[in-house]
Chain A
C-alpha cells in the first residue's frame, strides 16, 4: 500500500471535526436549557393511559402550575429493568414511574417507593375501587396510586351471537342454543364450532388471547386458573401448587382452548389479539376490558360496535373469576422533588381527571363514581346509538370478584419461570402433568432460594 499525503484526506478529517464540533455545541445548549424551573421526569407505559398523560394532562398541568412534566413512554419489561437498575444506582433522574402493580411488593419491600397515603382524603379512599387500592398497597402502605384497572373479560361478537342464521345452524349442529357461555365447557364447544368456519363471508377462529412467552401466556392462563379455583401458590408464597387437581384442570382446559386460536397463536401478544379482533377473524376472546376501545376505531377496525363483553366462564362448577390487571403511579424514594411529584400524582387521579382520562381514550377509571358519570355513560360511538363505554357494567361486575397475580416480591421471576413451562405445554413439548410438575419444581427451588 503506497503512502498517501494528507491532502487527499482533508475532507474526511474535516467532516469528522465538523460533526464533533456540532455535537459538542448541541450538548452545551441542552445543558443550559435543563435548569429552567422544576421538572418532573416520569416514565409511563406507552399504552393509551400513558399517551394521554404525555399529550394532554402533562402540558395542562404545566399551564396550571408552571411545573414541567417530562413524560417518557417505555415498554413494560423495560420499565421494570430500568427501575431496578436505576434504584440500585440510587439514581434520582426519574421521579415518577408507571408500574404494573405486581412490582409493588418487589420495590416496596426494598423501600424504593414513597408512601402515598397522605395524598388521598378519606372520601377519595372510599371512592376508589377497593381492589384497585389493594394492589397498590404493600405492608399497609399505599405505594402506588391506581391509574387504571382492566380485569380480563370474555369478549364475544354480538353480530355473530345474535345472527338468526348462525344461531339456527349452531342449534342444528350441536342441539344447544348459541348463548353467551357461562361455563368453560360451553365456551369450548362454541369456540370449536366457530373455529375455521366461514361466516358472513369471513373466516373465523374460535377465540384469541395473549399467548406469547413472557407475561402473555401467564396472564391469560391466570384467568383459567382462577376460574377453576386454582391457587398457583400457597398463601405464604412458599410453595407452588400447579400439580393440584384444580390447577391441572385449569391448565388442561387452557391447553385445549389454545388449539382453537388462529394460526400463529403461540406468539400472540396483546397487539395480535387486538388486530384479530379488529379484523373480525375471531368469534370470542379473553382480553383486557380496556382494550375494547381499539375495536371501535373506524379507521382500523372492521368490527366497530360489534364486540360485547361478559364475565370469564366458570370451570368445574366454580364461578368465573377474572385475572386483574392494573397500572399504578409510584414515586421514587430517590426523587429530589417528592412534594411536587406527590401533587402531580394526586392531580392525575382526581375525580375530574379520572373521568377525563377515560374520556380521552386512556385507561378505564379507578373510581367507583366515575363508572356512573354521565359524561362517560352518555357517550355514543360517532354516528351510532351504540354506547362507547358499553363494557363498564361488565367491568364493574368483574371487579367484584377479580383476583390479582400472586402479590409477593418474587412475582416477576415467578412469571418468567411459569411462562417457560406453559409455553412448553402449549407447544406440545410437555404434557400438562409433566409441565406442571416441572414448573412446580423450578418454582419451589426459586421460592426457597
Chain B
C-alpha cells in the first residue's frame, strides 16, 4: 500500500546483511492466516456450486450455477442488498456527522472532559449482542422505557421493533448510538494533532471559525477521516448480533440485511449451498463498496 515510501526508505535505511531469521518469524502467522482463509474459501466456492442441505441424507451434488441463478433471479436478494446498502450508508453518514460535531465539543479541554470522554466510549466497548438485548428491552412495546418517554412527550406508544415504519430506523439509531463513539475518538485524536500554530495563524489573519474548520481542519484531517469512515464502513456491513437480538429480520423482511439472510439460509433452512453462494455475492458487494474508499485511502497514503 505504501510502495513509494517504502522503497526509498528501504534502500537508505535497511541494513545490508540479509537475515533469513527475519522471515522465519513470519511463517507461523502466515500459515494460520492461509489455512483459515484460502482453504475454506476454496471449499466454500466449490460448495456454492452444489446443492447441499445439511440434513438431506442424499448428501450433496453439483448443480452448476443453480444457486446463483436462484438467488439473483429471486426478489429476496435485491431486497436485502437494498436494505444492507441503506443501512451502511445511513449509519456511516450520520455517525460521521455526529462524531465530528461531538469531537468539536470536546476538542478543547473543559471540566471533567476526561471522565466524559471515557464514559462516551462505553457503548462501543459493549458487546453488540448485549446492545441488541438492551435495545429490545428498552424499545419493548409493553414495558420499554422508550415507550414511556414517547408517551410522556405526547407521541404515544409504538411497537417500535415490529412496526413497518419504525423497525429499520430503530436498528439504525441503535447502531449510531453504539458506533458514533468510535468515530468520535478517531476524529478527536485527529483534531488534536492539528498544529496549534496553524489555527492561531489563521485566526490572526482574521479567519472565522467556519473558515478555520474548512480550510485547516478538514484538509489536515482528510486522511484520518477517511480511515475512520472506511473502518466503520467495513464493520457496518457486518451487522448481525444486533438483528439477531432484536428484529430477526422482521417485520416481514424489512430489517433483513445480507448478513442476516445468509445466517437464515445457512443455519435455519440449513441450505449450505445457497448460503455459500450468497456469501460470495455479499463479499463482492462489500469489496466493491469498500474498494472505492480503500483506493482513495491508498492514494492519500501515497501523497503523504
Asked if chains A and B are in direct contact (CB within 8 A), the reply is yes
Contact A264 B251 (CB under 8 A): no
- Contact of A416 with B268 at beta-carbon distance under 8 Å, contacts A213-B252, A423-B252, A427-B251 already known: yes
Contact A263 B157 (CB under 8 A): yes
Contact B250 A107 (CB under 8 A): no
Contact of A110 (CB < 8 Å), options: B57, B253, B271: B57
With the chains together, A431 CA to B161 CA distance in Å? 22
Contact A77 B141 (CB under 8 A): no
Q: Interface 1/0s, chain A 34-73, versus B by CB < 8 A?
A: 0000000000000000000000000000000000000000
With the chains together, A80 CA to B56 CA distance in Å? 15
Contact B55 A263 (CB under 8 A): no
Within 8 A of B (CB), among A393-428: 409, 412-413, 416, 420, 423-424, 427-428
The dominant DSSP class at the A interface is helix
**A125 to nearest B CB, angstroms?**
27
Q: Which residue of A lies closest to B250 (CB)?
A: A213
Q: Is A200 an interface residue (CB 8 A)?
A: no
Contact A264 B141 (CB under 8 A): yes
- In the complex, what residues of A have CB within 8 A of residue B54's CB? 84-85, 87-88
Contact A106 B55 (CB under 8 A): yes
Contact A84 B159 (CB under 8 A): no
Contact B267 A85 (CB under 8 A): yes
Q: Is B285 an interface residue (CB 8 A)?
A: no
Q: Interface size (A, Cβ < 8 Å)? A: 34
Q: Is B232 an interface residue (CB 8 A)?
A: no
Contact of A264 (CB < 8 Å), options: B159, B248, B252: B159
Q: Interface 1/0s, chain B 128-164, versus A by CB < 8 A?
A: 0000000000000110000000000000010101111
Contact of B164 (CB < 8 Å), options: A107, A409, A427: A427
Q: Is A353 an interface residue (CB 8 A)?
A: no
Contact of B161 (CB < 8 Å), options: A81, A214, A267, A275: A267
Q: Is A165 an interface residue (CB 8 A)?
A: no
Q: Which residue of A lies closest to B66 (CB)?
A: A449
- Contact of A212 with B269 at beta-carbon distance under 8 Å, contacts A84-B54, A264-B141, A427-B252 already known: no
**B44 to nearest A CB, angstroms?**
15
Contact A266 B55 (CB under 8 A): no
With the chains together, A84 CA to B267 CA distance in Å? 8
With the chains together, A412 CA to B269 CA distance in Å? 7
With the chains together, A406 CA to B60 CA distance in Å? 25
Q: Is A111 an interface residue (CB 8 A)?
A: yes
Q: Which residue of A lies closest to B63 (CB)?
A: A449
- Contact of A412 with B268 at beta-carbon distance under 8 Å, contacts A213-B248, A213-B252 already known: yes
Contact A84 B162 (CB under 8 A): no
- Contact of A267 with B268 at beta-carbon distance under 8 Å, contacts A110-B56, A272-B142 already known: no
Contact B264 A416 (CB under 8 A): yes
**A303 to nearest B CB, angstroms?**
16
Q: Is A197 an interface residue (CB 8 A)?
A: no
Q: Which residue of A lies closest to B248 (CB)?
A: A214
Q: Interface 1/0s, chain B 204-239, versus A by CB < 8 A?
A: 000000000000000000000000000000000000
Contact B252 A429 (CB under 8 A): yes
With the chains together, A110 CA to B250 CA distance in Å? 30
- The interface of chain B, by Cβ under 8 A from chain A, is 51, 54-57, 70, 141-142, 157, 159, 161-164, 248-253, 264, 267-271
Identify 26 residue pairs between A and B in the complex whose beta-carbon atoms are under 8 Å apart, listed by A's number. A77-B268, A81-B267, A84-B54, A84-B55, A88-B54, A88-B55, A110-B57, A111-B57, A112-B55, A212-B162, A213-B162, A213-B248, A266-B251, A267-B141, A267-B161, A267-B251, A275-B142, A413-B269, A413-B270, A413-B271, A416-B268, A420-B253, A423-B250, A427-B252, A429-B252, A449-B51
